Amino acid sequence: MIRLFLAAMIFSSVAVADRGGWVASGGELFRFGKNPWFLKNTTTVEYCVEIDRATISASESDVYAAVSDAIEYWKREFDPQQAMLSKPGFVTVGTQTFTRVSPCRADLALTFKIGAGTLDVDELKSLVEPSKYVGVSIRKEYDQVTMTGKGIVYISSDRGPQAYNQRPNSGHLYPEAWKEKKLLTYALIHEMGHVFGIPHTGVGLMSEVFLEQLLHKKFVQFYLDKALDNFLSPPMNFDVCMLSGSFNTTFFQIPNDTACLRFEGVMTAGNIEWKLSTLKTPKDTPVPAGTLKASMMMQFAVSAKPALIVQLPSEQTVFSLMNRNMNTFLIGPMFSDSTAQGVFQTPVSTRPNAVQVELRTDSILMTAVVSGKLTPVLVYSPPSLLNKIFPIGP
Ligand SMILES: [Zn+2]
C-alpha cells in the first residue's frame, strides 16, 4: 500500500518540478553543470529582481525581502565553516556580498524573475510550459577559466493562466502561495541552494520534490508553523512530542503526563545552550523545565559528508595546485554531525546530571545514566513528510 503511494508521489513530482544547474547554451560538459555560480574570485554579486505584478500575489517589498532572506539563509549556513573550508582541498562558497540593483541589466550575473511575464523569448522556449515549474534555476553561461556562472532564478506565477496550479492534476497545490512570504522564501532558498552549488539531496530543503511538497495542500500548514530548519547542522529549536520521538520523564524530572518537551537553543563555537520547557498539550503554554548545556567533542569526525563538491575544469585559473591539493575537485561545506557532552539542570536542582548528545542534521539522541543504567533519555527526529501523509498512531 505504502509502496503504491510512494510511486504516485514520485511521478506526481514530474508534473511540477524544478531543475538545478541546467544550461541552455554554451556547450559545457555536464561535469561542471552543478558547480556554484560564484567562487572566491567573485567578491560582490549585483543582482536584480523582475516581478510580473499582475500574476504574483506577493507585494513587491515582500518579494525583495524574500530574495534577500534566501541569500542570507545560505550565508548563515556556510559561515561557521568558512575558516575550515579555506584550507587546501576545500572550497568556500557564499562569501560574496550580494547587492540588489535596479533596473536589470544584461551584464548582471544573477537575475530573479518572479512570474511568467518576466521570461524572455529564449527562456520561454527553453521552459516550454513555465507553469510546470514552481521554481527553477537556470545557469545560462559558465566560464571554465574563471569558474563563474550567469543565469536566472525563476519563480512561477501564482495567479492567472500561467500559474503553477493551472495545469491538469495540479489541484493538490495550495493556490496563491506567494501571499505567504515564508513559502516564497522557502522556494527561493531551494533555488539559491542550486546557485551555491548544492545538488538535490536528502528529504529536506534540497530534496528533488521539495517545492512540490512545500505547496502541497497537506503540507503548507506544516511549513508555515515550523521554524526554518538548519540545513548543514542539527536542529536547535524543536518540540519532542509523541509522534516526533520520546523522552524520559525521570531524567528530566518532569510530570508523567507531559505531552511535549520543547527545546530552544543556540549554538556558539561548538557550545550549545538549550532552555527546556514542558507542555501538557502541543498548544499549551510552556512551563520552564531547566537548561541543558553541551560542548561538541568530535565535530566533523563523525561521518562528515560534503553537501557539495566543486569539479575543476582543466582551464581554470582560480585554484593553484596547492589550493586544490593536487585534486581535480574541491570539497565544499559539510553536514556537521557530531557528539556533545552535556549537563542538564532543573530550575530547582543543585546537582547537574551528565548527558551525552548525538547531533545529526535530521535527528537528536540523548543518553544518560538513569537509576544506575545507561538509558536513551531523548529521541527526536523531525516529523517526516511521509508521516504527514500517513499519520502513525492515534
Ligand atoms: Zn531543485
94/81 Cα distance (integer angstroms):
11
At 150-172, the pLDDT tens digits run 999 999 999 999 999 888 888 89
Provide the pairing of β-strand 373-380 with 363-370: antiparallel
Kindly give the distance from the C-alpha atom of residue 33 to the centroid of ligand 1, in angstroms, as a whole number.
13
Kindly give the distance from the C-alpha atom of residue 154 to the centroid of ligand 1, in angstroms, as a whole number.
12
pLDDT exceeds cutoff 90 at 18? no
pLDDT at 345: 95
pLDDT exceeds cutoff 80 at 5? no
Residue partners of 138: CB distance under 8 A and separation at least 6: 19, 22, 23, 24, 123, 126, 151, 152, 153, 154
pLDDT at 268: 86
Kindly give the distance from the C-alpha atom of residue 202 to the centroid of ligand 1, in angstroms, as a whole number.
12
Kindly give the distance from the C-alpha atom of residue 20 to the centroid of ligand 1, in angstroms, as a whole number.
5
At 301-330, the pLDDT tens digits run 555 789 999 999 999 999 999 999 889 999
pLDDT at 161: 94
Kindly give the distance from the C-alpha atom of residue 150 to the centroid of ligand 1, in angstroms, as a whole number.
17
Kindly give the distance from the C-alpha atom of residue 149 to the centroid of ligand 1, in angstroms, as a whole number.
17
Kindly give the distance from the C-alpha atom of residue 123 to the centroid of ligand 1, in angstroms, as a whole number.
18
175/154 Cα distance (integer angstroms):
18
pLDDT at 218: 83
Kindly give the distance from the C-alpha atom of residue 105 to the centroid of ligand 1, in angstroms, as a whole number.
26
Kindly give the distance from the C-alpha atom of residue 153 to the centroid of ligand 1, in angstroms, as a whole number.
11
Cβ-based burial of 44 (10 A; exposed 0-12, middle 13-18, buried ≥19):
exposed
Give the mean pLDDT of 217-238: 86
At 21-32, the pLDDT tens digits run 444 333 334 578
Kindly give the distance from the C-alpha atom of residue 374 to the centroid of ligand 1, in angstroms, as a whole number.
42
* Residues 208/198, Cβ–Cβ less than 8 Å: no
pLDDT at 1: 33
pLDDT exceeds cutoff 80 at 14? no
Kindly give the distance from the C-alpha atom of residue 16 to the centroid of ligand 1, in angstroms, as a whole number.
11
pLDDT at 30: 55
16/11 Cα distance (integer angstroms):
10
Give the mean pLDDT of 213-234: 86
More confident residue, 336 or 68: 68
Q: How sure is the predictor about 267, in pLDDT bands with cuts at 50, 70 and 90? A: confident
pLDDT exceeds cutoff 70 at 392? no
Kindly give the distance from the C-alpha atom of residue 207 to the centroid of ligand 1, in angstroms, as a whole number.
7
Kindly give the distance from the C-alpha atom of residue 280 to the centroid of ligand 1, in angstroms, as a whole number.
39
Kindly give the distance from the C-alpha atom of residue 90 to the centroid of ligand 1, in angstroms, as a whole number.
24
pLDDT at 16: 41
Kindly give the distance from the C-alpha atom of residue 214 to the centroid of ligand 1, in angstroms, as a whole number.
12
What one-character DSSP code corresponds to residue 196?
A: T
Q: What percent of the chain has pLDDT over 70?
A: 87
Give the mean pLDDT of 198-219: 87
pLDDT at 301: 54
pLDDT exceeds cutoff 50 at 15? no
Kindly give the distance from the C-alpha atom of residue 238 to the centroid of ligand 1, in angstroms, as a whole number.
26
pLDDT exceeds cutoff 70 at 247? yes
What residue has cell string 544547474? Answer: 21
Q: How sure is the predictor about 299, in pLDDT bands with cuts at 50, 70 and 90? A: low
CATH class, range 237-302+337-389: mainly beta
Residues of the chain with CATH 2.40.128: 237-302+337-389
At 353-375, the pLDDT tens digits run 999 999 988 789 999 999 999 99
Strand partners, 360: 363
> Checking phi first, is residue 326 left (phi over 0); if not, alpha (psi -120 to 50) or beta?
left
C-alpha cell at 374: 545507561
pLDDT at 32: 83
Give the mean pLDDT of 346-350: 86
Kindly give the distance from the C-alpha atom of residue 21 to the centroid of ligand 1, in angstroms, as a whole number.
9
Q: How sure is the predictor about 68, in pLDDT bands with cuts at 50, 70 and 90? A: very high
Please tell me the least confidently modeled range out of 110-114, 146-150, 290-294, 332-336. 332-336
pLDDT exceeds cutoff 90 at 389? no
Q: How sure is the predictor about 3, in pLDDT bands with cuts at 50, 70 and 90? A: very low
pLDDT at 28: 38
Kindly give the distance from the C-alpha atom of residue 87 to the centroid of ligand 1, in angstroms, as a whole number.
29
Kindly give the distance from the C-alpha atom of residue 134 to the centroid of ligand 1, in angstroms, as a whole number.
10
Kindly give the distance from the C-alpha atom of residue 194 to the centroid of ligand 1, in angstroms, as a whole number.
7
State how far Cα 126 lies from the chain centre: 27
Give the mean pLDDT of 242-263: 89
Kindly give the distance from the C-alpha atom of residue 17 to the centroid of ligand 1, in angstroms, as a whole number.
8
Kindly give the distance from the C-alpha atom of residue 199 to the centroid of ligand 1, in angstroms, as a whole number.
7
Give the mean pLDDT of 251-272: 92
Please tell me the least confidently modeled range out of 131-135, 249-253, 385-389. 385-389
Please tell me the least confidently modeled range out of 5-19, 284-298, 342-356. 5-19
